[in-house]
Amino acid sequence: MKLSSANINIMVKACRKAAKILIRDYGEIEKLQVSLKGPGDYVTASDKKVEKILIEELQKARPHYSILSEEIGEINNDLSFRWIIDPIDGTSNFLHGIPHFAISIGLEHNKEIICGIVYDPIKDEMFIAEKGNGAYMNNQRMRVSTRSKLKDCIIFSGGPRYGSENKELIFKEYIKFSSKVHIAIRKFGSGSLDMAYVAAGRCDGMWQRDLNYWDIAAGIILVKESGGFVTDFDGEYRYLQNKTLLVTNSKINNEMIEVLK
């Protein structure tokens, strides 16, 4: 089966067009214009070009929808429908020539994400999901993993940013998980791809603090439509309010919540 609704087709077209900029600029890393946006947080000329293309394509197809995007902020139109955009999730990886970053777009209807896309242009992997219609990676159906014991799992996390107020707490959480997980904890630097990998069964769970909505919007529907859970650290659905995100397959959610307590 292939997802081919009107909204999905709009998102795919926008991502494909914007990805041409990323692929070109990725091959010319040394020529990128970079401005400092904050400690350890960079924005590139590529970010802005990609965002511009995405917004132009989305607005052309759906001119009445609102937009929330990382660089420009909000464009308020019809608030019942809203695109949530991260033009480059994994900017630091991109800047350093590490081929692990993605374009992320989620579509929100009445405060609920109803479809999403996470596109890794270097690997040409497109993760897509739509409410009630499943999740797919390059048109192959995705399912979360079936591992049921935390000790046998691969778990992702993001670690603290340089200026994080929760730095010590995040390190403590990392130590607690490292004592429970026998296989591996990984930090790859792209929250949207972390969520896509949970949805695809490539890893079994992730936890992270202080992510923004545009980092996770598309990933929420990818994981849910693949049979996984997206909650806060207490197992509730306040991840946007309290900035704690727990993403798991259907079997280790409770065990990860216990570790985070």
Tens-place pLDDT, residues 29-45: 767 767 766 655 667 88
Has this prediction a pTM greater than 0.75? yes
Is 89 one of the catalytic residues?
Answer: yes
Give pLDDT, residue 29: 79
Question: What are 56-83's pLDDT values in tens digits?
Answer: 999 999 999 999 998 888 999 988 999 9
Domain with CATH 3.30.540.10 in the chain: 6-141
CATH 3.40.50.720 corresponds to the domain 6-141:
no
Active site residue 183: no
Interatomic CA distance for residues 176 and 159, integer angstroms: 13
pLDDT in tens, 218-254: 999 999 999 999 999 999 998 988 889 999 999 999 9
Q: Which of 53, 67, 85, 88 is catalytic?
A: 88
**Confidence category of residue 144, pLDDT binned at 50, 70, 90:** very high
Q: Which listed residue (57, 215, 225, 232) is catalytic?
A: 215
150-260: which CATH topology? Answer: D-Maltodextrin-Binding Protein; domain 2 (3.40.190)
- Strand, helix or coil for residue 113: strand
In this prediction, residue 34 carries a pLDDT of 74
- Supply 216's token pair: 């996770």
Start and end residues for every CATH 3.40.190.80 domain found in the chain: 150-260
Length of the chain: 261
Which is more confidently placed, 166 or 7? 7
